[in-house]
Amino acid sequence: MCGIVGAIGRKDTNVLNYIVTGLKRLEYRGYDSSGICILNEGTFNKVRAVGKIKELEAKLESIKLVSHIGIGHTRWATHGKVSEKNAHPHIAGSVALVHNGIIENYAELKEALIKKDRSFKSETDTEIIAHLIDESYTRTKDPLAAIKSTIKQLKGMFSLGIMFKEDCNSFFAVKCGTPLVVGRDKDSSYIASDVYPLVEYADEYAFLEDHEIAKISPDHITVFNIEGKELEKKFQHLEIKSEDLSKGGYRYYMEKEIHEQPQVMVDTLQDRISASRDKVLLEDLPLTDEDLCRFKRVYIVACGTAWHAGMLGKYFIEKYARVPVEVDVASEFRYRDPILSNDVLTILISQSGETADTLAAGRQAKKSGSFVIAICNKPNSTMNRESDFTIFTQAGSEIGVAATKSFTSQASTMLLLSLYMGKALKTISDDEIKPILNDMVKIPFQMEQVLKHSEIVSNVASMYSKHKTFLFIGRGVHFPIALEGALKLKEITYLHAEGYAAGELKHGPIALVDNELVLVAICPKDELYEKTISNIEEVRARGGDVISIGSEGDERLKAMSNIFIPMPLVSKDLMPLLEVIPVQLLALSVAIQKGADVDKPRNLAKSVTVE
Ligand code: AGP
């Protein structure tokens, strides 16, 4: 993901401070390079740097930029390697722009532009947008028309900040797929990828919706739809205080950490996927392909949320590496005298790396000659020191007691490891790996789309925080998400919730169903869809309410649900990374509704370092 900022003020103001501060507050979104472009009397002035924002700041120290209008960008590379020439902003003729997203049809658009003798300075998909707008603007001299005609040609996700050389009295913003917010105070206007950079600058803000175009002037912001019709935009007062910035402008750490997941995905995937997208990179793993072929069985051992990630690991390793996997909660594993030897691979999963039961399991496995891999979030943890190898999940510090971003990082790491093992065991080809990795790279953007549903989920909270029982169901890779959703709800709302394999409903839990029960059904369109639909019908027939998490456009499921939460269409194995977000948000919303202590729920600790 990338971060966008932009600002315009009165002619005697300098927007540099907002742009640099804003980029630093967006650095969590991606930081392999960054750049800034300002406009003074028909001249663009651009400064870019590879590395963190401090590299850009160092350059700006010696190049004193001053202007009342400018845009800035912090980049996570998707198209084109990390380099200064690929860093944004990109300029084509009269147009300078910054972009967050992926243009899926950029190759064909670039080919058409090259045929029109357009030359390119970068390898990015972004630069083609600048050329398309400039090409249309050169003909019409109408910025809004040029933007409208361009975005109608683009497929994919793109939020943009756009300046036109001839106009230093306004600039433009476009929102499609990835978030973009506009902000204003009495004589300046701003754009940013989230509200965070607006704190201490804007008094009011409004999130743009897909295909909305904003014209940003110092004393007003006009929003149009893609047809050019002016829209009435409701601005909200910016409540966040600068002292709340440690929570990223959110009310709770858990809320912030749920919203950090797109970036955590970026960090987890960074350096783990080859540029050609056909290889998982685990170079430092001290196991040769022959060593990996030696393992006849895999144990995955963890507790709580980490155990749910381990359950996904079972699906992935058995599917892609075809090695039998047993998943165990550590407190059971350590006392059941498991069959361990040097042809067994033991994988421990732990956010803290200090969970007593999981540590004990690891020691037991290691003593029996099993090779122990830890998937852990803490470099200086006991588990890291004691395991044969650690894959770090790069989730950053997770303050909320209820695990959220560590889960999605653990689950995606399990998928990467299963693909790595599959390649070593030759049970999956590069051609089969490539589309999965290509889809994984898009997940951060799709997570941002799913996070937009926090509105729908918060409505659920007010409806359902008075119900007595929540039953979460799912099949296949969706079953661990049902368990995770139930655990989240229990942990922070103290309501009773159970997670069940949907096929088990008839074997007892359906007796719970009455009008005080809420069914949360994870039911995307895959090969088990019809079976879960039947489970939902059984619950509805007995008076239960239904919240469903399904595929975008599934009108049938929507009609059967009291609340329907749509998910983008992604391959089945990646669905859990998206569908866990609504269940996290549901627990958060009900907890807030109930006035619970979201970050520090009663009786719990962030790390269970005793049995
Ligand atoms: C999850 O929300 C809970 N906080 C808890 O179940 C946690 O996942 C479990 O204690 C394991 O912790 P670990 O990942 O640090 O080992």
Per-residue pLDDT, 443: 95
Q: Are 406 and 396 in contact (CB under 8 A)?
A: no
Cα 591 to ligand 1 centroid, rounded to whole Å: 18
Cα 305 to ligand 1 centroid, rounded to whole Å: 5
Q: What is the mean pLDDT of the chain?
A: 92
Q: Which of 499, 514, 509 is nearest to 583 (CA)?
A: 499
Per-residue pLDDT, 568: 93
Per-residue pLDDT, 468: 81
Cα 485 to ligand 1 centroid, rounded to whole Å: 14
Per-residue pLDDT, 451: 92
Task: Please write the tens of the pLDDT for every residue from 543-569.
Answer: 899 999 999 999 999 999 999 999 998
Token digits of residue 304: 């709580």
Task: Please write the tens of the pLDDT for every residue from 87-136.
Answer: 999 999 999 999 998 898 999 999 999 999 999 999 999 999 999 999 99
Domains annotated on the chain, with CATH: 3-245 (3.60.20.10), 253-451 (3.40.50.10490), 454-594 (3.40.50.10490)
Cα 409 to ligand 1 centroid, rounded to whole Å: 13
Per-residue pLDDT, 112: 96
Cα 225 to ligand 1 centroid, rounded to whole Å: 45
Q: Are 358 and 301 in contact (CB under 8 A)?
A: yes
Task: Please write the tens of the pLDDT for every residue from 50-96.
Answer: 988 899 999 999 988 999 999 999 987 767 778 899 999 999 999 99
Protein residue with its CA nearest to atom 6 in ligand 1: 304
Per-residue pLDDT, 379: 80
**Average of pLDDT values for 254-280?**
91
DSSP H helices, 428-574, are: 430-451, 454-464, 479-493, 529-541, 555-560
Q: Count Cβ atoms below 10 Å from residue 320 Cβ, excluding itself.
A: 23
Task: Please write the tens of the pLDDT for every residue from 150-209.
Answer: 999 999 889 999 999 999 999 999 999 788 999 999 999 999 998 889 988 999 999 898
Identity of the residue numbered 601: P
Token digits of residue 209: 């919706």
Atom of ligand 1 nearest to the CA of 604: 4
Q: Is 305 in the pocket of ligand 1 (CB under 6 A)?
A: yes
User: Is the pLDDT at 29 greater than 70, yes or no?
Assistant: no
Protein residue with its CA nearest to atom 9 in ligand 1: 304
Atom of ligand 1 nearest to the CA of 410: 14
User: Is the pLDDT at 579 greater than 70, yes or no?
Assistant: yes
Which residues are identified as catalytic?
2, 606
Q: Is 304 in the pocket of ligand 1 (CB under 6 A)?
A: yes
Sheet holding 90-92, edge to edge: 90-92, 95-103, 156-164, 171-175, 212-217, 220-224, 230-231
Q: Is 598 in the pocket of ligand 1 (CB under 6 A)?
A: no
Q: Is the peptide bond before 89 cis (omega within 30 degrees of 0)?
A: yes
Task: Please write the tens of the pLDDT for every residue from 445-489.
Answer: 999 999 987 778 877 787 776 788 899 999 999 999 999 999 999
Please report the sign of the dihedral spanned by the C-alpha atoms of residue 117, residue 121, residue 124, residue 126: negative
Q: Is 355 in the pocket of ligand 1 (CB under 6 A)?
A: yes
Protein residue with its CA nearest to atom 3 in ligand 1: 402
pLDDT band at 142 (very low <50, low <70, confident <90, very high): very high
Place of tokens 């949907």: 502
Task: Please write the tens of the pLDDT for every residue from 397-452.
Answer: 888 889 999 999 999 999 999 999 999 999 999 999 999 999 999 999 999 999 98
Query: CA-based angle 300:303:308, to the nearest 5?
Result: 70
Place of tokens 């051609």: 431
User: Is the pLDDT at 367 greater than 70, yes or no?
Assistant: yes
| CA dist 489 → 486, 496, 583 (Å) | 5, 8, 8
**Average of pLDDT values for 503-528?**
93
pLDDT band at 31 (very low <50, low <70, confident <90, very high): low
**Average of pLDDT values for 15-35?**
85
Task: Please write the tens of the pLDDT for every residue from 282-336.
Answer: 989 999 999 999 999 999 999 999 999 999 999 999 999 999 999 999 999 999 9
pTM beyond cutoff 0.85: no
Counted residue by residue, the chain has a size of: 611
Identity of the residue numbered 413: T
Per-residue pLDDT, 245: 65
Q: Which of 298, 300, 295 is nearest to 343 (CA)?
A: 295
User: Is the pLDDT at 511 greater than 80, yes or no?
Assistant: yes
